[in-house]
Chains A and B, each alone.
Chain A
């Protein structure tokens, strides 16, 4: 079953195309991460899917309901962690959760009390439950907003920057909760974030957006592979001259060479490390370079993301 299925979603604000022809799907029990710089269209995408704004074109089913024809049913079936915590500061944490639990249809008082106390306890807010939210730190507000989003146990969750403003231990706690909701409880989660650590630890698939357009899609590993086609290794030299790049590009199997003269490093992309490393080392020694070390490099999602969003002409969508 697909928790979220969107086809050709677009959103235009005046002359600005905030999201352009975006299609995505999130099966039950999976986490899809939306990555992209500010203004890429992540929040707009979430707002369209949560029925807060209407798509200019395209369609989407969320929890089996049509966002255009059944917005009330979609809203009932989703939990939304908004970009800002969006909490009532003059109400206490308990009052905030009470209000939203009722608004989302948790009508049984005993069930409501149980869920609220459970969430406040696991998120470390129980002792401060009767304090007004105005007295809360940013991290506490973020945790309370997260509690609000999952309070009614929705099958689909939209989480916009869930770990922002959180200290490392709280961020880990929330990541564990998100992982548990996805894998144990089978919820579909759409995660928008700038934190690549969250993506690497949580996401089954990732979509990279820029200027409202989809740049890349796949598992984090697939996206890395697509951006860095080939294998990579680093060579540490005692000293390096810039002209070495052209010489190494002539070696069979070498696809790209980056030279960091200051650090004495060469970063080589090739077809096969096993074949190319001996050839490159031989060439360097023959040209009089002192090779200090050779190390295989794993392409990181961060590298892939930065390369994608900084490259205007390249489009690696598949």
Chain B
């Protein structure tokens, strides 16, 4: 594999995407909702009311060390801490999935719809170079979106926590750093690999998105559940999950390249 060719496909797609508002819009809106609008609403509400409410279940699952920490907090601080540190954590695995899904779905399916795929397939760029280049574009956009969201989110959380905890900044902690810098990328790569594979095998962007939704939603449910458990159980569990997803990434890439067939891609050109 020549990485120059991977970079070439990456750069071409990156420039194209940066000029395509239909693709950029969801990539930008989703992080704003998850990192700013939802947190501002939810973090302010319980801190005003002081009611544990639906967080009771989450509270009862927390390990003893965390519950011990809560002994020093009042009710409002406990609720804020639980929402900020635990409740929102899984959303940061959803952000890269959603952000990547639009770009990854467009990768090959969009080229088929715009009838640009034939010239690309006629080049000497190899299957794996083309596939990896397309994967990395969606992955890079997803991670930029996630990191941007993370920065905004910790700014929102810490701005509130400064007043609520007498100058204490509650984020980032080790668990969140592992979540953002290790788990989110590996989860995102697996999802991107799957979506690019789908995109290469369907006729158009919409079809790719629909199949993506059907396949990704169950994964999201699992990821959501796992993430809560992982965040609650701490860094070791996250490291274990990262290992699992690294393997999944590798398998998705190999499967995607194996299923990559120029003739089939051309036959699906509308």
Contact = CB atoms under 8 A, between A and B. Distances in A.
A243 B116 CA distance: 59
Interface centre among B20, B122, B124 (most CB of A within 10 A): B122
Interface of B: 4-5, 8, 12, 15-16, 19-20, 114-126, 262-263, 266-267
A60 B116 CA distance: 26
Interface residues of A, number: 31
Given A88-B16, A90-B20, A100-B123, 7 more contacts: A13-B267, A51-B122, A75-B124, A86-B118, A91-B16, A104-B124, A132-B19
A80 B122 contact: yes
A90 B15 contact: yes
Nearest to A74: B124
Given A53-B263, A99-B8, A103-B5, A90 B119 contact: no
A84 B118 CA distance: 9
Contacts of A88: 12, 16, 116
Contacts of B121: 52
Contacts of A52: 118, 121-122, 262-263, 266
Contacts of A211: none
Given A52-B262, A52-B263, A87 B119 contact: yes
A218 B205 CA distance: 45
A105 interface: yes
Contacts of A103: 5, 8, 120, 123-125
Contact of A54 (B16, B125, B263): B263
Contacts of A105: 124
Contacts of A84: 115, 118
Contacts of B122: 50-52, 75, 78, 80, 82
Given A82-B118, A148-B119, A90 B16 contact: yes
Contacts of A86: 115-120
A201 interface: no
Interface string A144-155: 010010000000
Contacts of A245: none
Contacts of B266: 47, 52-53
Nearest to B264: A53
Nearest to B130: A103
Question: Most chain-A CB neighbours within 10 Å: which of B12, B114, B120?
Answer: B12
A47 B123 CA distance: 12
A75 B124 CA distance: 5
Contacts of B115: 84, 86
B216 to A, nearest CB: 27
B211 to A, nearest CB: 23
B203 to A, nearest CB: 16
Contact of A72 (B15, B118, B126, B267): B126
A65 to B, nearest CB: 11
B200 to A, nearest CB: 15
A82 B123 CA distance: 12
A13 B267 CA distance: 10
Contact of B119 (A47, A53, A82, A91): A82
Given A47-B266, A53-B263, A91-B12, A75 B123 contact: yes
Contacts of B15: 90-91, 95
Contacts of A104: 123-124
A317 interface: no
19 contacts: A51-B122, A51-B262, A52-B118, A54-B263, A72-B126, A75-B124, A76-B124, A78-B122, A80-B119, A82-B119, A84-B118, A90-B15, A90-B16, A99-B12, A100-B123, A103-B8, A105-B124, A132-B19, A145-B119
A314 interface: no
Nearest to B263: A53
B4 to A, nearest CB: 8
Contact of A53 (B5, B12, B125, B262): B262
A102 B8 CA distance: 8
Contacts of A72: 124, 126
Contacts of A148: 119
Contacts of B119: 80, 82, 86-87, 100, 145, 148
A89 interface: yes
Interface string A55-90: 000000000000000001001101010111011111
Interface in A272-296: none
Contacts of B114: 89
A82 to B, nearest CB: 5
A227 B186 CA distance: 66
A83 B121 CA distance: 14
A201 B124 CA distance: 32
Interface in A124-175: 132, 145, 148
Interface string A90-115: 11000100011011110000000000
Interface string A12-55: 01000000000000000000000000000000000100111110
A156 to B, nearest CB: 12
A76 B125 CA distance: 9
